[in-house]
Amino acid sequence: MTDTTLTDLARTELFKDVPDDVLRQVLLRSAAQTLAAGDILLSPEKANQHVYLLLSGTLSLRFDSPTSPEVRVLPAGVAVGEMSTIDDTPPSAYVIAKESCVVLPIHRKLLAQLVAQSHPVALNLLHLMGQWVKANTRHIANDQTQIQRLSATLRHVTAQGLDQRIPSKPEDRDFAELIAVFNEMLERLERSFKQASRFSGDAAHELKTPLAILQGQIEQLIGAAEVGSPTQIQFSNILDEVRRLSSISQKLLLLSQADAGRIRLHLMPCDFSTVLRELMEDACMLGAHLRVSHNIAPRLRVVADADLMLQTLHNLLSNAIKYNLDGGWIHFHASCSGAWVELRITNASENLTADQRAQLFERFYRVDPARNRAVEGSGLGLSLAREIARAHGGELHLEDSAPGETRFCLTLPAPPPTDD
């Protein structure tokens, strides 16, 4: 087994130009393998559900048998597989280590998840599809021009979005079925995406008014009930649940807007250092049982939507408090690095497993498998915080940290310096 770095993945054709948080998901859930010269990586007789990234060495592509003449040499950086993300058809060729090689297997389920959440991964997967079809079809292997034109069309479709389709031309008869299947897949993805986005947005919007009315009526009943009576206590508990539903509804509405690229931002210059110092006061009050420290550089400035940025910061603070340890601590570090303002929030915590780290930003995911209500939350806070950061042109990700702690890093674009 060989250690693999983000740089190793970024050099491969499948993950070039892919964000670091996507690469980290791959590293958390895949392990590199070493092949000796002559080892068979793929063959028609070998069951397989992976796509392999060749990190070092070279592979030999052969048809019919392992001893047939070499058809093509596959250099480091390529990705090969039977493309079971499309169907379960086994490979029709033999891929053999020409020398000592290091490969990284990526299971089709993980690849499908990455494609669903990352356009760059989808774009590079389309390139991989074209290369693998080219390698596995004898009569097409001799017609490089047609393959290159189809690959270019696939990349263009991905860049334009799910509403695009690949036109089928008479000269594409060898690819007619592939084009039809891919267009059908795009149509299903577009339809499912629109339905999911519309449902969550419509549901959240429709719930907003009745929840507000219900909250107002319960508040009136609490005011009319005898102070400290069982009736007042019961209504107070119900009010807490209604407020929780209202919070979930608001987050779902924002997430649906983010999915559609329609988060409305009211951008204004902001003294980020002052905002963070005020956040420290909230941290000391809400986490009175914790040690709170900070190292905030002065005169940090960003251009942001004040309300949404405060929501992001409070989501991160709430997360650091809820999942802290007894007698634990929180540390805030903010600085400017080139064109970016960086905020790191680190807190004492239980060690997260690789699966937990990979799923932290998934919607409705909570680290507590029992979804213990003693730890308040809906599992939407981190997902929403990242969408807000991205809407501002920034990013939010989980960083590697020492055992016994968790650290999130929020990056935002720094405005150009002024002459004053």
Q: How far is CA 400 from CA 13, 28, 100, 315, 407, in A?
A: 25, 11, 31, 20, 7
Token readout for 340 is 């970016």
Confidence of residue 140 (pLDDT cuts 50, 70, 90): very low
In whole angstroms, what is the distance from residue 380 CA to residue 384 CA? 6
pLDDT digits (tens, 9 = 90+) for 369-416: 544 444 455 677 788 888 888 888 899 999 988 899 999 999 999 887
Give the CATH number of domain 267-413.
3.30.565.10
Domain 6-161 identical in fold to domain 267-413: no
* Amino acid 34: pLDDT: 93
CATH superfamily for domain 6-161: Jelly Rolls (2.60.120.10)
Segments making up each domain of the chain, as ranges: 6-161, 191-259, 267-413
Q: Which residues contact 411 (CB under 8 A, 6 or more apart)?
A: 340, 341, 342, 343, 389, 394, 395, 396
pTM above 0.75, yes or no: no
Mean pLDDT for 216-240 is 84
Q: What is the mean pLDDT of the chain?
A: 77
* Amino acid 293: pLDDT: 94
* Amino acid 108: pLDDT: 76
Bridge partners of 269, per DSSP, are: 303
